[in-house]
Amino acid sequence: MKNFDFHRFALTFKSQLLMGRNFWLRLFLIFFLVLFFMEMLMTEVGEVIYNGQDIYKMRVDNAVNFSITFFVFSMLFGATGIFSVLKDTRKRIAYLMFPASNLEKYISCWVMSTVVVAIVTFVAFFCADTIRTLMAPAFGREMIWGVPSFLSQITPDIHGLVTTTNTDQVCHWWDVFFLVTGCVLFFHSLYMLGGTAFRRQQFLMTTLFIVLCFIIIVNVLHHIDFEGNINLLSYDEQNGLQVHPATYVIMVCLYLLTCFNYWLSYRIFCRVQAINNKWLNV
């Protein structure tokens, strides 16, 4: 059997997606209810206290910011749930015997825990915000749709980059974009590694492990009297956005560590057996 065949991968992904359709439906309903009630709570509750369209728009923006935060946490939670099927021995045996290579099964789970979770979360927000917008006139409010604001905050301003004449600022903007993307992918890979390594309470265990590592690193830097007064990004009206040379070193390290985390996650998955440790998939 070849290590990767696209047709077999497509069949594997389709099969796993169909088998988990009830789970995805429940996840969508939970996300929809949470986002809808939080949007209504943040925009309509307390009507006696505040009045005015500007304040209402500010509340809508706050609801959108909450939705973006919820989106980020849903992606991390989805990353730790990449192999939630491995918790049950019977399901784990059936999954390991599925007629596909380890790489195909791993990529299939990666797509579901990343792309599908992102789609489910966004569709839940889209539906919740649209219903909230349509209900606004019933509360005497102007219809302010939060989806455009949501998209503008999670996607780059391509039009602004294309139309600007300041080539230095364009280059610096891409530096910031790749730095932020590197940070996002790094934490995503960490949570996916935790989701593969830990068998129970993956999100909680991974979060505690990251916090513990952060505390250890901070204490080590404190004991060696490390002076970390480096402004990776700075801005002034005369020169605009400035990027410190250390930023590029950090970006390279982030992407290398991200690739290592994904690779290690895959190697751990390849070593999963029918009977494993109670807390670890090794």
Give the mean pLDDT of 130-134. 91
**The model's pTM:** 0.80
Torsion of CA 275, 277, 280, 282, to 10 degrees: -60
- Checking if the pLDDT of 161 tops 60, the result is no
Where is average pLDDT lowest: 13-22, 40-49, 54-63, 152-161? 152-161
DSSP 3-state of 240:
strand
Q: Which of 74, 71, 216, 212 is nearest to 149 (CA)?
A: 71
In the chain the first and final C-alpha atoms are separated, in Å, by 25
Q: Please write down the long-range contacts of 271-275, taking CB distance under 8 Å and 24 or more positions apart.
A: 272/83, 272/86, 272/92, 272/96, 274/89, 274/92, 274/93, 274/96, 275/89
Report the DSSP beta bridge partners of residue 198.
280
pLDDT digits (tens, 9 = 90+) for 21-35: 888 899 999 999 999
108 vs 246: which has the higher pLDDT: 108
Q: Please write down the long-range contacts of 167-175, taking CB distance under 8 Å and 24 or more positions apart.
A: 168/240, 169/240, 169/241, 172/240, 172/241, 172/242, 172/243, 173/241, 175/243, 175/247, 175/248, 175/251
pLDDT digits (tens, 9 = 90+) for 68-111: 999 999 999 888 887 776 666 677 777 777 788 888 888 988 99
- pLDDT band at residue 243, thresholds of 50, 70 and 90? low
User: Do 61 and 45 contact (CB within 8 A), yes or no?
Assistant: no
DSSP 3-state of 242:
strand
The ranges assigned to domains in the chain are 1-155, 156-282
From residue 116, give the alpha-carbon distance in Å to each of 90, 98, 196: 25, 21, 18
What percentage of the chain carries pLDDT values higher than 90? Answer: 24
49 vs 6: which has the higher pLDDT: 6
Report residue 4 as tokens: 């990767």
Please name the residues in contact with 29: beta carbons below 8 A apart, sequence gap of 6 or more. none
Task: Tell me how far apart the alpha carbons of residues 280 and 278 are, in angstroms, rounded to a whole number.
Answer: 6
User: Do 186 and 261 contact (CB within 8 A), yes or no?
Assistant: yes
Task: Tell me how far apart the alpha carbons of residues 234 and 150 are, in angstroms, rounded to a whole number.
Answer: 26
